Amino acid sequence: MFHVKQADHLHRKTASCDASAIRDGCGTLGFSVTDAQLCDLLLHLDSIRTWSGRVNLVAPNDFPRLVSRHVLDSLTALPWLPSDPPLSLLDIGSGAGFPGIPLQILRPNLHVTLLESRRKRALFLRKVAAQVSCPHLSVLHARAEEVVEDPEHRHRYDLITLRAVAPLAQAIRLAFPLLAPSGRIIAYGGPDAREAVRRLLDECPSLPLALLDHRRIPVPFLSRFSYLVLVGAPTEHA
């Protein structure tokens, strides 16, 4: 009984620390979260910890910093996601649900599809999707290379997110056929992300894409930056 009570106390303490870090971190990034959104974000994190013994979801050394390393890093792209009208977003290689689930929670009007090729990870994502208050969240268990060949998905998505996928240029080329004509690809990369995109566009001039924006955003509670690139159809300014 002592061990049960001790575990419950540690669980509550972890959730409280996570909640404070999420609220403070989001405030630093320039937006706030509702109580309902916070509950869903905490549920996602709790599920990752619960499933960690069965499925390799995040690196072991990331557990002490799940909020900063994954939740807040994912949310650095939030300003690029409009609140309305409803748009479709495909999160390629979703893994543990980053960035797709936090973005869905903070932008409930989005219709988010989490694409994951590994069966156990896809099962985990379906469990989380069934628990959080996100009716527009779905999971697709397939390889991106297969989805690209499916007419149902080609040229369909308004937004595509790429995080922790490498090499970045190859991932963008793979994602392009799934992008709607006026769609945007949001890629999380390293310090060389912008140059990687520029090299891709120089080497593939027939690819109808342009580097529309790039940002370097400090991630709260981490001594590192989130490097984001926004890629889409060329505009008169791009």
Whether the link from the prior residue into 135 is cis, omega within 30° of 0, is no
Q: What is the pLDDT of residues 1-52, one digit of tens each?
A: 444 444 454 467 678 899 999 999 999 999 999 999 999 999 999 999 999 9
The pTM (predicted TM-score) of the whole model is 0.93
Domain ranges for the chain: 2-232
Spell out the CATH class of 2-232. Answer: alpha beta
63-93 per-position pLDDT tens digit: 889 999 999 999 999 999 988 888 999 999 9
